Structures are given as C-alpha cells and as structure tokens.
C-alpha cells in the first residue's frame, strides 16, 4: 500500500493462472479497478513504493520506476537475492534503496533512487544479511546478519557506525527490523526473531549524554568503548514469548511520543505503539512505555486472528 492511500501493488502467489508471481498489478481499492500491470521474466520477490518511486525486486535485479508514468529509470544488477531482501526510504529528500552486496558477508549497497546513482557500500557484519531497514527520514540503516546476535545501526550519509546492540548470545533468525517514525534520530528500534521474542533498543536514551557513559567496574575499565556498547544491555528490552517460537513475524513501531524536561530537554520517558503481525494470521497491538530509569512497561491492547476476522466478515 502507498502510505494510507487507495493504491495497492499486488503480486500473486501463483495458485491461479491470473495470479502470476511474475505480474505486478497496481490496484485502486476505491474504484475496484486495476490501473496498470507490469510483467517480468522471473518471480517478483518484493515491492516498495513512495510518492515518486516504485521499486520491484527480483532474484538478481532491482527495477526503479517513476510511479506516476511507470517509466523505468534504472535497472540494478544484484547478487543472488532469493529472499528479496531490501530496504527503502519513504523520504524523498534522502530516498535510498538498500540491497545486499554479497552472499558471503553482511554488506549492503545503498542507491540514491532519485538521482539514480550508487551512494555507498556499508560493511556491517561478517555473515550475510538477514534483515535491514531504513529510518523514515532515510538517515539511518539498521542491519542484522544470519547469525542474529548483533544489530548495527549506520549513518547513511557517510556510512559510519552509530550503534551496535547485542540481541543475544545464541544465533536466532531476525525476521524484521523497524525504526520508530521520528523525523530526527529514531527513538526505538524493534526486532522480531525466531525465538518468539520482540527486542526493543532505545536509541533516544542511548544517545543522551547522561546515559551513554562507559560502565564502571572491572569490565568497563578494560574493554574499549565500541565493544563495551555492544555488551551493555542498558538500552535493550525484551518482550518474551510475544509470538509462537519459529513463526515468522513482523513488528512495526507505529507511533512514538517523547516526554522531556522542559527546562533541560532531558529525555524522561518514551511511549510507543507497536503492531505485530504473524504469518499464522494473528495481529497484536502493544502500548509501550520506557521511563528515565530505563524500565519498560507494556500492555497488550488487542489481539485477533486476521483469517478468522476476514471469514466472519465475508460470511
């Protein structure tokens, strides 16, 4: 869906002749009419849109279109990308497309799709990438490798690392990454994993001077700052068993509200709304709150089965 508009980009699953996985249909939900179709030689693995660009990801190519005329602007040859892994910024001022740069290591290529040129390559992990996301303002990219133990955040403009967070000690598949929708520094980064837990990393607190001092004690005195940040769990929160283990899920931070001290601008609390959708059909919505002592409180506001709700409505 193009933001909250009536425009949908639909790709079939191939279970019917009219629903080919090689055909992209742009569909208007208001009129119920198919507007345009695009056909490709191989299956479409991912589609991304903003108000000026349409991105279509195949296994070894990425196509960039002008969304209104569907004029093709660029064709990008990629490494084999069987998962259709990509990240796309909705922002037109920093409109980047990120694609895997390697099948053996965790590096990403970032393209400016407004000017159609390669911006940079970011080497984020030793293992191949499993998930990545761009912030809504296009300034930051978060990545996770197939190991799933470390999540890194880079500043896109100069490809420098800003944060490293340890998700856990044992490998886990990261299904999704999501930044909070801030126009400046993203406040929260959420990750869903095969363990069934949702991990939250509070970037807003991590960037605050009073909360970013190196740990005191033995480890803090001997471990370099960059490594110490990875080992420090201060900005990491976990919602255990949020979904069934092994079931693919997608967590989205939909809304973030910061509470600050009016006199000192110190961040006192962070409140957010998070939605989770699972591949066995469940939708969940959580209210989250993180206070100045870095304590998390959360509540499940609603949960229902999308498949059951759809069938009930149809009947």
Can you give the pLDDT at residue 211? 39
Can you give the pLDDT at residue 233? 53
Asked whether the beta carbons of 230 and 166 are under 8 A apart, the reply is yes
CATH topology of domain 1-82: Thrombin, subunit H (2.40.10)
Helix (H) or strand (E) holding 236, with range, is strand 236-239
Can you give the pLDDT at residue 207? 57
**Paired residues of 106 in beta bridges:** 125
122-155 pLDDT per residue, tens = 999 999 999 999 999 999 999 999 999 999 999 9
Helix (H) or strand (E) holding 229, with range, is helix 225-231
Note the pTM of the prediction, 2 decimals.
0.87
**Paired residues of 76 in beta bridges:** 62
Q: Which residue reads 């984020």 in tokens?
A: 124
Can you give the pLDDT at residue 264? 75
What would the mean pLDDT of 94-120 be, rounded to a whole number? 96
**Of the candidates 201, 206, 137, 207, the residue with the CA atom closest to the CA atom of residue 174:** 201
User: Is 204 in a helix, a strand, or coil?
Assistant: helix
**Paired residues of 36 in beta bridges:** 26
Residue 312 has pLDDT above 60, yes or no: yes
201-253 pLDDT per residue, tens = 988 666 544 334 443 444 434 444 444 444 445 688 999 999 999 999 999 99
CATH topology of domain 85-310: Neuraminidase (2.120.10)
**Of the candidates 115, 109, 114, the residue with the CA atom closest to the CA atom of residue 132:** 109
What would the mean pLDDT of 268-290 be, rounded to a whole number? 92
Q: Token pair for residue 150?
A: 């470390």
Measure CA 14 to chain center. 27
What would the mean pLDDT of 62-90 be, rounded to a whole number? 96
Domain range list for the chain: 1-82, 85-310
Please state, in angstroms and rounded to a whole number, the distance separating the CA atoms of residues 194 and 173.
5
Residue 272 has pLDDT above 60, yes or no: yes
Sequence length of the chain is 315
Can you give the pLDDT at residue 214? 40
CATH fold match for the domains 1-82 and 85-310: no
Residues of the chain with pLDDT > 90, as a percent, come to: 66
- To the nearest whole number, what is the mean pLDDT of the chain? 87
Please state, in angstroms and rounded to a whole number, the distance separating the CA atoms of residues 239 and 237.
7
Residue 66 has pLDDT above 90, yes or no: yes
């Amino acid at each position: 869906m193009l933001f909250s508009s009536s425009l949908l980009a639909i790709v079939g699953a191939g279970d019917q002749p009219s629903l080919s996985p090689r055909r992209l249909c742009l569909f208007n939900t208001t009129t119920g009419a198919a507007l345009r179709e695009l056909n490709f030689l191989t299956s479409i693995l991912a589609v991304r849109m903003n108000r000026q660009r349409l991105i279509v990801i195949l296994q070894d190519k990425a196509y960039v279109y002008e969304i209104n005329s569907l004029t093709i602007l660029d064709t990008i040859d990629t490494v084999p990308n069987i998962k259709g892994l990509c990240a796309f910024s909705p922002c037109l001022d920093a409109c980047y497309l990120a694609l895997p740069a390697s099948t053996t290591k965790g590096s990403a290529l970032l393209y400016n799709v407004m000017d159609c040129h390669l911006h940079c390559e970011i080497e984020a992990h030793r293992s191949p990438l499993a998930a990545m996301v761009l912030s809504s303002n296009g300034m930051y990219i978060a990545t996770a490798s197939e190991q799933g133990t470390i999540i890194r955040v880079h500043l896109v403009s100069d490809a420098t690392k800003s944060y490293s967070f340890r998700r856990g000690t044992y490998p886990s598949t990261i299904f999704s990454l999501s930044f909070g929708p801030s126009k400046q520094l993203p406040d929260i980064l959420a990750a869903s994993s095969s363990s069934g837990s949702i991990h939250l990393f509070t970037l807003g607190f991590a960037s605050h001077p009073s909360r970013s001092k190196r740990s005191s004690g033995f480890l803090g005195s001997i471990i370099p700052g960059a490594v110490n940040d990875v080992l420090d769990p201060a900005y990491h929160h976990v919602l255990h068993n949020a979904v069934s283990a092994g079931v693919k899920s997608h967590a989205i931070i939909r809304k973030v509200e910061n509470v600050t001290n009016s006199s000192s601008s110190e961040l006192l609390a962070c409140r957010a709304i998070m939605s989770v959708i699972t591949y066995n059909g469940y939708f969940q919505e959580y209210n989250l709150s993180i206070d100045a002592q870095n304590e998390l409180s959360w509540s499940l506001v609603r949960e229902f089965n999308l498949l059951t709700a759809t069938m009930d409505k149809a009947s």
